[in-house]
Structure 1
Amino acid sequence: MAVSDPIKLNSPIQAHGEEITELTLRRPTTQEARAIKALPYKIDADEAVSLDLDVAAKYIAVCAAVPPSSVNQLDLADLNSLAWVVAGFFMTPASKPSTT
């Protein structure tokens, strides 16, 4: 399972009764994506990609194993960075296809 490098937060948050200064995101599973029922990004008519922050926040909670209330404490810059990491999981395959 793909996992991001630890992402240092600009401002610490509280999760599970502890102060958190960095988060590591794991790749969501297909089952989790189906349960959330949305992608963390939208593709506009001009093919520009934009984040859906509400959906991305749900993925951050699941993939970082923190409660949604902890996601709500994130600095906006941290939310943006984490949301793009989550979106990246959907835009790249988990593994490279075999060329043999």
Structure 2
Amino acid sequence: MTATTVHPLNVPITAHGEQLTELEVRRPTTKEVRTIKALPYTLSENSMPVVEPDVVCKYIAVCAGIPQSSVEQLDLADLNALAWILIGFFMTPASTPPSA
């Protein structure tokens, strides 16, 4: 997965006094994960990821560079899509190590 993903919003939101029709979400850093103190998912009994909405909203604010009040404006379909984008960052390495 790339270091950033652009998600076109189904419903525009306002952030920093501007209307946004898309969000560019970047991969969180280890420091940000430690600051938030939680992953955006838990694992179900069958080891499938389950979205943690409160935590996902914190990551959206940090990784998209928007205030939490703007996160609260997200349409549910956009929130769901952004949640899985963020979870994807945790499920795939940032890059493949070079082979010897």
TM > 0.5 between the two? Answer: yes
Identify the residue that residue 4 of structure 2 maps to in structure 1: 3
Runs of 4+ in 1 over 6 A off after TM superposition: none
Q: Which moved more, 1:68-77 or 1:40-49?
A: 40-49
CA distance in 2, matches of 1:45, 1:81: 23
* Aligned-partner SS, 1:77: helix
Greater fraction of residues in strand: 2
Matching residue's letter, 1:3: T
Q: CA deviation at 1:45?
A: 2.0
Sequence identity (%): 59
- The Cα shift of 1:46 comes to 2.2
Q: Deviation at 1:44? A: 1.5
**1:34 is the counterpart of 2:52:** no
**Matched residue, 2:77:** 77
More displaced, 41-50 or 56-65?
A: 41-50
Q: CA deviation at 1:49?
A: 1.4
> Residues of 1 paired with 2:63 and 2:10: CA distance?
19
CA RMSD across the alignment = 1.1
TM-score by length of 1: 0.95
The answer to whether 1:24 aligns with 2:24 is yes
Between the two proteins, the alignment pairs up a number of residues equal to 99
DSSP 3-state at the match of 1:25: strand
TM-score, with length taken from structure 2: 0.95
- Worse-superposed segment, 40-49 or 58-67: 40-49
What is the DSSP-based 3-state SS (H/G/I as helix, E as strand, rest coil) of the residue aligned with 1:22? Answer: strand
Aligned-partner SS, 2:4: coil
Unaligned 5+ runs, structure 2: none
